[in-house]
Structure 1
Amino acid sequence: MSEPAARIRRALGTWDVVVLLALVAVAVVGALTVDGVASPRFWRFVVLEAIPIALIALPMTLIVITGEIDLSVASVLGLTCSVMGQLWVSGVTSLPLLIALALLLGAVLGAVNGLFVTGFGLPSLAVTIGTLALYRGLAYVVLGDRAVANYPTTWTTTAIQPLPGTTIPWMILVVAALAVVFAVVLHAMPVGRGLYAMGNNAEAARFAGVDVRLTKFWLFVASGAMSALAGVFWTLRFASARADNGSGLELAVVAAVLLGGVSIFGGRGALLGVLAAVALLGVLRNALQLAYVPANTLTVITGSLLIASVVGPNVAGMLRERLRRRRTTTVSPSS
């Protein structure tokens, strides 16, 4: 087999390509079997739903590659929405100022997670489960059961304004630009190689000169800031600030990251597969909703995909290793 053909074969065998092919298959089958899937309106809602998930999934990908996780992201989003609502009620009427304060708040909340994980050496799973509850509780303390919904229509319509000549919201360009930044950091810079090294063996990465603690700390800061940005978009899209905004969104984010091929044990993954998984879950969920599938069933499907995303790559890796060993045994000279 020629070298170009071998490269194509290896590329087609990657998990990223599998997810992309699954996305195309779901889109085609949905368009052929469910009324409305082929319409521009359907794809508008898919993008609107995918934007906050993609924003949070970008830093989450890097965090999971290092062997950590952040489960507080949806609560950071909710607390950001509550603070934005309270600030607006209190007389802060400048949108740029509100966005800046929201991003600062998200960065501080992420820094708290990072401090507990890197400063005190606590497991990120335990820490972020705790802050998941803490931040959501603080959101209710700030806003209670109220809903702040009297934002100017210029704000709310601008947030979901479509690109000229399309139904796709312009915010997809912001997501794309941020995705490029995160992809460059992960795949084209020394810090990205350090992230993979941390996920494979943090102690070895430390000996190789990687500042493991500081790097992880800033990843949690980035996660908080991006969750806050998702909270800003959420508030403006729905024209409502509520303490329960984004509840349960962490499940969709983690499902997308793991379904995208990022190993829950760290050290493996790529942003392309994650973004494809975000789109796949969005298309699947919206198509099933159009087919009148109950919400509880959608939750079961999301959970099943989450399990499959953990089990699938590991099973595939085991099968590849067995085939490799079998081929090695077959071609080796007999004693």
Structure 2
Amino acid sequence: MPDHTRTPAGTVSRLRSALSLREAPVLGALLVTLVCAAMFVDNFATERNTGFLLLSVAAIALMALPMTLIVITGEIDLSVASTLALSSATMGVLWEAGVPIETALWICLAVGLAVGALNGVLVTLCGLPSLAVTIGTMALYRGLAYVLLGDRAVASYPQTWVSGVRDTVPGVPGLPWTVLAIALLAVLFAVLLHASVLGRSLYDIGNNAEAARFAGVRVRWTKFWLFAASGLVSAGAGVLWTLQYGTSRADTAFGLELQVVAAVLLGGVSIFGGVGTVVGVMAGVLLLGSLRNALQLLGISSDVLQVVTGLILIASVVAPSAAARLRARRKAPGPRPAPDPDDRNRPVAAPSGEES
């Protein structure tokens, strides 16, 4: 019997079903947040703030794309922010040494690919849990960034590159070119995940890795390249971050991995794997960014913003499980009525067509 879920129509049907169940709440919350912030927060809806908001979530959105694929397979990468910092520190050291920025950029990407591949080797070939591995490499890569730069900051990058990251699309003042490029990359990731054989295999791995292996999916190889891609993209986010803020520091993006994970889970990706869409994750990124931006405009301290992020992360993990249990209770059959004791004394009616 043919598998209709692998056809384009089946892909669209699965995507609509997923959006209706898990992504609709975050899309609704994003819409409500934007409307309320525009109405009640001064300067939120201005073109300048819109551009600032989009740029502030650019690196998070970039790292969330490969993270989405990794979490769908049932794994996680907590070293993304440290890889970003290592890339930024590498760029700073190279720039200080007189290396052209074009060459430094490619070297940073190569470093990111290498450290991502190391995560992949430890998880796939060594069989270690990704949570433990990436907690360790999170500290390792951050430490390497401090070895390269220490407490110093490297600035004075070429103004053409710095301004190029911040420039907006002509005629659309609130849309930076960088954000447009990330949006196009998100479309590519969405096509890869929702309309390709590889994307279908990622869901299969997340639902049952052993069954996917028997079905011919190269589970270890697929996971290895996902971690390598995560390192590569995180290094790209490090280059973007460095040019956006015009400086390299070892403590850059400290704790940003929590915002990436929160955005992915808030966007409807199950922490247990097998469920999630790129649309939901991008909505989660924008929702978190909008909330933080609105609270900053209201003068809320950064400590409170960290608390809000933590609460959202907990809620994004607890809410799907609670909703699943509620649906299971609704579908469960109700208790059978207790037998009436008087029924035992009643005569049994004879079957139709027979004598009593």
TM, length-normalised to structure 2? 0.87
Secondary structure of 1:167's aligned partner: strand
Structure 2 partner of 1:84? 91
State the Cα distance separating 1:326 from its structure 2 match: 4.5
* In structure 2, distance between residues paired with 1:130 and 1:78: 15
> Greater CA deviation, 121-130 or 39-48?
39-48
State the Cα distance separating 1:13 from its structure 2 match: 3.8
Instruction: Kindly provide the CA deviation profile for residues 266-323 of structure 1, in whole angstroms up to 9, marking residues without a partner as x.
Output: 1111111000000000000000011111211111111000010011111112222222
Secondary structure of 1:100's aligned partner: helix
Structure 1 partner of 2:129? 123
Preserved CA contact (<8 Å) 2:19 2:280: no
State the Cα distance separating 1:246 from its structure 2 match: 1.0
Structure 2 partner of 1:104? 110
Q: Which among 177, 190, 196 is matched to residue 189 of structure 1?
A: 196
> Structure 2: 5+ residue runs without aligned partners?
1-13, 337-356
* In structure 2, distance between residues paired with 1:97 and 1:176: 26
> Structure 1: 5+ residue runs without aligned partners?
1-6, 330-335
Query: Which is higher, the Rg of structure 1 or of structure 2?
Result: 2
State the Cα distance separating 1:96 from its structure 2 match: 2.6
> Greater CA deviation, 165-174 or 71-80?
165-174
Q: Which among 295, 309, 312 is matched to residue 316 of structure 2?
A: 309
* In structure 1, distance between residues paired with 2:298 and 2:180: 30
Structure 1 partner of 2:339? none
Q: Which amino acid aligns with 1:141?
A: V
Structure 2 partner of 1:265? 272
* In structure 1, distance between residues paired with 2:137 and 2:276: 26
Q: Which amino acid aligns with 1:187?
A: H
Structure 2 partner of 1:333? none
Structure 1 partner of 2:24? 17
Structure 2 partner of 1:220? 227
Structure 1 partner of 2:120? 114
Structure 2 partner of 1:67? 74
Structure 2 partner of 1:332? none
Q: Which among 174, 179, 204 is matched to residue 181 of structure 2?
A: 174
State the Cα distance separating 1:155 from its structure 2 match: 1.1
> Greater CA deviation, 167-176 or 269-278?
167-176
TM, length-normalised to structure 1? 0.93
* In structure 2, distance between residues paired with 1:99 and 1:180: 24
Report % sequence identity.
Answer: 58
Q: Which amino acid aligns with 1:39?
A: T
Secondary structure of 1:14's aligned partner: helix
State the Cα distance separating 1:325 from its structure 2 match: 2.9
Structure 1 partner of 2:287? 280
Aligned residues: 322
> Greater CA deviation, 178-187 or 135-144?
178-187
Structure 2 partner of 1:4? none
2:167 corresponds to 1:154: no
